[in-house]
Chain A
Amino acid sequence: MSLGPEEVKKIAYLARLAVSEDDVPAYARNLSSILDLVAQMNTVDTRGIEPLAHPLAMTQRLRSDEPTEPDQRTLFQGIAPQVEAGLYLVPKVIE
């Protein structure tokens, strides 16, 4: 399985990663070799095998519906890049 430069750029966009034009060939090469490694999976027939998402056969525990979290806005926004009037700021979102 080999990935070309256009595919690398498409994936980088999907993952919102800026990749410089110079780095694209190296990414293409490395990602392709990882996909080659991964392709070894195809040596085994897995038809009818139920996928395993979690190692332990447990089910979801439920929490009681109680507000337990105090307001910690000051603490949390102390580590934010940019805030104003209690809001996190981002470049203008155009709908």
Chain B
Amino acid sequence: MSLDRADVTKIAHLARLAVAEDQAAAVASDLSRILDLVAQMSAVDTRDVPPMAHPLDMPQRLRPDAVTETDRRDEFQALAPAKEAGLYLVPRVIE
């Protein structure tokens, strides 16, 4: 599997990760090598093999529908890079 610079640009956009123009070729080459490694998977016939969802045969646990966490909004929001009046600030989305 070989990716080119256009593929990298597309994947990078999906991942919301800027890849500098002068790095795109190197990234494409690294990713292609990793996908070559991964391609060894296709040598195995897995037609009747169920995909493994969890190592242990364990049902999802349920808990009582009750509030257990306290309100720590201020503490959590103190970590934000930009905030105002209890809101997270981002660049204007709608003009």
A, B from the same assembly = no
